[in-house]
Chain A
C-alpha cells in the first residue's frame, strides 16, 4: 500500500491539476473576449460585431459554469480529502 505521504502528494497533485485547468480556462475566456475587443476597436462592422458579442456571452456563460464546477466543487472536495490525509499523518 502506498504511504500516506505518497497519497498526500497525490491529493496535492489533483488540486494543482484542477487549479491549472481553472486558470487556463480563465485565460482562454479572457483571450476570447480580448479578440472581440480588438475587432470592436478596429471598427469591425456593427452587425457582425454584435453577433460575435452574443457568441462571447454564450461562451462566457459556459466557461463560468465550468470554472464553478472545477474550483468550487471539485477542488473543494479534493481539498477536504487532502486535509483528511494530512490529519491521518499527524
Chain B
C-alpha cells in the first residue's frame, strides 16, 4: 500500500501565516483574487503593487521564491493558450520583427498572464500554509455547501488510494513485458481506466456500507471548529485590503 507522505500542497512550518485560522486565510485569498481580476489590464503599476503584497505574504510564510516559482509551473498549460492570442486576435496590428501581432491580442495575453500568475501565486501561499483538512473545515465554516466540502474531502482521502491502485496496475503490466513508448501509454491507460473505474465504484459501495455501519444517515457530522479572534482577521486582511484599495483606486481614477 502506498503510504505517501504529507499532502502534496502543504509545506510544514510555524510561521504567522501558518498559524492563522483557515477560513480567515480563505477570505483573504478571495479578496486578493477579486482585486487582481478587477484591476484594468492597462494599469501595470497596480499589478506591481499586487505582486508586492503577495511577495510580502510569501515572505511572512517563509516560502522561498524558488518554491513559489516551481508551483506556478502548474499554470503553464493555461498560459500557453494565452500566447496564441496575439496571433489570432483581430483589430489593429503591430509588426514585431517578422511577426504581425494583434494589439488587442497582446493585451489579452498580458492580462491572462499577469492575472493568472498573481492569483495562482496567492493561492499557492494559502495552500502551502494550510493543511488540506483545515482548508476543508475552513470552507465549511464559510458556509460553502456541505455536499461540496464532503466531495472534496473524499477526493483528497481516496486520491492516493486510487493512484496507488493505478500504479500497481501499471507495474503488473510492466511485469508481463508491456513496455509502451511514451505516446502509446494512452492505450494502456484507457484500458486500465475502465477497470479502475469499476474498482473505485465498488470501493465507494464498501465505504458507504462502512459509513452506514457507524450510524450515517445522509449527513456528515460537523466536527471542526477553530474560532478566529479579531486580531487574526486584522493580521490576515491587512495585505489583501491594500491590494483591494489599489485595485479600487485603479478603477476609479
Pairing of A with B: no
Residues of A at under 8 Å CB distance from B? none
